[in-house]
Structures are given as C-alpha cells and as structure tokens.
C-alpha cells in the first residue's frame, strides 16, 4: 500500500512537534538542579496519577530506573539530552495511550534532515519492504536481514526501547516508522544504509531530505483524494452501509449533534427499507466511548453489559476535573492514591422508533482503536451484532485510558498517560485482542466489495 500523503503529513507534524520558541530552546543548556526538578516532576506525576505504572516493570525496578536517570544528569545538558534520558520512564508504563513530545530542532536542522527513503511492514516476525522512494532497485516484499552488518532483530529491539505503548507493539511500530526512527531516535544514521535482504541482495541505500521524500512519495499517489468524513451513509443493494470514522465529541460533533446526525441517517435507512445494516469502524481512531454507546441504541434492543475497571484518585486529576467543570463528588471523597471502582453496568435499551431490526454487521480492521475498539468489543462480548473484518494492529480490549497531560517545568517536554484501567465485559480473557468472528480481507476493498464478502 502506498504511503498516503495524509499519513506523511502526520509524521511531519510529529517530527516538527510544535513547541514555542523551539529554535531558542534547542541550544539552551540547563543546570543539573533544573534537570533534577524535571525528572522528579515526571516521576511524581506518574506515581501519583497513572492508574498502574508497574505492569511492565516492578515498583523497585521503576525506582532504580528513575534513580539511574537522576544520577546521570549533569550541568549543561540540553532538552535533547534530557529527552533521551527521561523517556524510558514513559516507555515502561506499558500504556498504549502514553507518549512524550519530540525534542526541539531548529529550522535549519529540520530543513537539512535526511531520512531513509524506504517503508516497511512487520509481518510474521519479519521486516518486509513495502515502499521504495530511493534510486536503488529493490524488490517489494523482500525481507530485511541486516542493517550496516547489524542483525535486523537487534536493530529493532534497540529502536523499540524508545517507543511508548504496549510492549508487544513496539517492534511493529519501530518497523512502521523505521524511515525516521533510524536517524533521529536510534543509531542516528544520516548518510548511507547498508541493507542485506533475504533474497541475497546487499546494497547501499542513500538517505534523502524530507522534502525529497515528500516529493518522491507524491509522485506515486493517486491524484484524487477523498475528503475525510466523520460518518457517511450509502445504500448498497439491500444493505444500509454506515461508515463511522471517528467517535470524537470535542472537535467534530457534540454528543447532541451526533444524536441529530444519527437520527437523520437512521430515518433514511428506514425509508430505504434496508434488510441488513453494516456499521464500518475499521478506520475509526476513537474519541469518546459515549458516541459508541449512543450508536448501539440504533441497532440493538438487547440489555448489555458495559466495560468495568478502576479509576485512580490523584490531586492532579481532581484539579483537571475541577478546571474543566467535570467535578465528581464521589471521586473527590476518595483518598489520593486509592481507586474508584468502575463497575460493569447493565444497560437496558431506551425506546427508539428509528432502531434498525434486521441483521447487523460491525466491520473492524487494522486501524480500529481506543473507544472504537471498546464499542466493537462490547458488541462482540454481548452478542449484539456480528463483528467481522480484521484484528486491529494496535491497541487492546483491556487497556489504560482517560488521559491526563503535563509539561516539565524547565525543559518543556509534554507527556501524557492514562488514569483509568478498562476491562472488557468478558473479563481478562486471553489473548488480549479484538478477534472478529469472521475474517474479511479489507485491503483496498470498496464498500460494495465488502458487502459482496458478507
């Protein structure tokens, strides 16, 4: 699959993380005391507010990692120096929503930055070439064996140590972002890449500028690009096909606006006299789970059970709730450090004259994430509809969520993580994956082709 320009744009944003006065901050040197203040700040926020920071490493291991970092701090370090030392505290949270902002680079460095002009995917423990924007003649699908005479599994394990998120997803993410990771986050190779492939080919691929990569990628893109639509409805044969690409209730629609739009769509579905309903969330990145709960009421009249979990009480999150007029009296009563239980609720369907009563399919895919995954898992665990498609590449049904963000007082690095732990209605079942009951290959398929599969 070709590197989409929209994806490339997102990656450029990540590279040039928008921090104020970045040019000045890049060369600023900090005192040891300032750096100690910042690492103490990061540790305090994690231990106070994260719902469970010791799932990957023990509390004693976490304390040792923190102590080792603190002992490594010296006068005259830059934000970049501190970034590489401090980030492991975020990485080892094993929290797929956690992150730390990129370190600053100057405009001149950004313009002169060079990258590897290749894209890869991780499949069956192999790193496979998927896109080539270099001048080298390479075979798409060939497996990478080594880089600069270093076994590729060793390279990937090293790069994965810089990636926050769930432990088992770090190597696949390292492969997906390899084009920028290998020069900026690990190994710092900025010139030539000596690659050996399983086919026997060994060749040197030269790095190119970001601008050249963008230009090379644009040449291979289809000219017509569909605009992003939060939701879209189309009747296909006797199927009502509803695509929902996001559950956002902040920047897209409010909950009330979501209800109005769903009312309109399901009114049309009723007029169309559709016999089957498809709700496609295979590219849905999530948002607010309340949108998914609202959607359920349009196709199911069954009583169902919600997610369960726990919610850590902290002054940090209490202050956040207060600042956003979301205070909870029950939460406020809990002692800092204790947990507020999130009990699974039995939800009885409300009356809904627009409810669809025919066969319903939920389409999940590699990009179904966060609250879209929670929606699909609730449907699956409660047998509200037939969940089909592909298992998501990222994320887990049981996960951390409800994010809180902070910024270090001196080095100005933003970081965030979850204060809630969510457990699916079916409980702690293994594997911790959303597995559809019927697998459908969704790669480059149109809605019409998906309907044919159904």
Regarding whether 336 and 247 lie in a shared domain, the answer is: yes
pLDDT at 326: 87
Task: Extract the runs of DSSP E, i.e. beta strands, from 17-113.
Answer: 99-100
Residues in the chain: 454
Regarding whether 242 and 213 lie in a shared domain, the answer is: no
Entry pTM: 0.81
pLDDT at 19: 52
| Mean pLDDT per 10-residue section of the chain, whose length is 454 residues | 36 41 90 98 98 95 98 98 97 93 89 92 95 95 97 97 92 95 93 96 95 83 66 97 95 95 98 97 94 97 96 94 89 93 93 97 96 97 98 91 94 96 94 95 94 94
Distance between CA atoms of 197 and 182, rounded to whole angstroms? 17
Regarding whether 420 and 363 lie in a shared domain, the answer is: yes
Expressed as residue numbers, the domain containing 365 is 231-453
Q: Which pair of tokens denotes residue 419?
A: 């204060």
- CATH number for the domain that contains residue 135: 2.30.42.10
Q: Which pair of tokens denotes residue 333?
A: 């009563």
Distance between CA atoms of 96 and 104, rounded to whole angstroms? 23
Regarding whether 292 and 397 lie in a shared domain, the answer is: yes
pLDDT at 11: 37
Regarding whether 200 and 261 lie in a shared domain, the answer is: no
Taking alpha carbons only, the member of 333, 309, 287 closest to residue 428 is 309
pLDDT at 228: 84
Regarding whether 244 and 212 lie in a shared domain, the answer is: no
Q: Which residues pair with 361 in a beta bridge?
A: 278, 386
3-state secondary structure 327-394: CCHHHHHCCCCCEEEECCCEECCCCCCCCCCCEEEEEECCCCCCHHHHHHHHHHHCCCCEEEECCCCC
Distance between CA atoms of 411 and 34, rounded to whole angstroms? 8
Distance between CA atoms of 204 and 212, rounded to whole angstroms? 18
Taking alpha carbons only, the member of 34, 162, 156, 171 closest to residue 100 is 162
């Amino acid at each position: 699959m070709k590197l989409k320009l929209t994806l490339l744009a997102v990656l450029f944003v990540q590279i040039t993380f928008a921090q104020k006065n970045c040019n000045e901050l890049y060369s600023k040197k900090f005192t040891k005391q300032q750096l100690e203040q910042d690492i103490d700040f990061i540790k305090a926020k994690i231990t106070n507010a994260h719902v469970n920071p010791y799932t990957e490493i023990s509390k004693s291991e976490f304390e040792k990692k923190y102590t080792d970092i603190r002992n490594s701090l010296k006068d005259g370090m830059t934000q970049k120096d501190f970034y590489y030392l401090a980030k492991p505290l975020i990485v080892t949270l094993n929290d797929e929503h956690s992150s730390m902002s990129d370190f600053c680079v100057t405009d001149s460095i950004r313009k002169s930055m060079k990258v590897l002009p290749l894209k890869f995917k991780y499949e069956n423990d192999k790193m496979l070439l998927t896109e080539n924007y270099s001048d080298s003649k390479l075979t798409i699908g060939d497996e990478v064996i080594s880089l600069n005479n270093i076994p590729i599994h060793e390279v990937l394990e090293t790069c994965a140590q810089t990636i926050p998120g769930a432990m088992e997803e770090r190597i696949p993410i390292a492969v997906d972002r390899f084009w920028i990771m290998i020069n900026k986050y690990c190994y710092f190779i900025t010139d030539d890449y000596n690659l050996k492939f399983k086919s026997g080919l060994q060749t040197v691929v030269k790095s190119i500028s970001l601008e050249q990569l963008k230009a090379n990628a644009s040449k291979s893109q289809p000219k017509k690009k569909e605009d992003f639509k939060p939701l879209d409805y189309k009747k296909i044969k006797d199927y009502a096909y509803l695509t929902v690409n996001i559950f956002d209730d902040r920047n897209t629609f409010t909950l009330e606006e979501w209800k109005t739009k769903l009312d309109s769509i399901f009114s049309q579905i009723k007029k169309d006299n559709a016999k089957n309903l498809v709700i496609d969330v295979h590219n849905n990145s999530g948002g607010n789970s309340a949108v998914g709960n609202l959607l359920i009421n349009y196709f199911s009249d069954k009583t169902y059970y919600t997610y369960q979990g726990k919610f850590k009480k902290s002054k940090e999150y209490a202050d956040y709730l207060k600042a956003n007029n979301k205070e909870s009296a029950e939460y406020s009563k809990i002692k800092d450090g204790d947990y507020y239980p999130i009990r699974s609720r039995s939800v009885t369907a409300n009356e809904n004259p627009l409810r669809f009563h025919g066969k319903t399919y939920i389409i999940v895919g590699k990009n179904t994430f966060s609250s879209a995954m929670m929606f699909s898992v609730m449907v699956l665990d409660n047998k509200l509809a037939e969940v089909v498609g592909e298992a998501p590449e990222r994320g887990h049904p049981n996960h951390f969520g409800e994010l809180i963000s902070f910024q270090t007082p001196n080095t100005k690095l933003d970081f965030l993580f979850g204060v809630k732990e969510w457990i699916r209605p079916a409980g702690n079942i293994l594997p911790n994956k959303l597995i559809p009951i019927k697998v459908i290959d969704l790669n480059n398929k149109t809605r019409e082709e998906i309907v044919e599969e159904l």
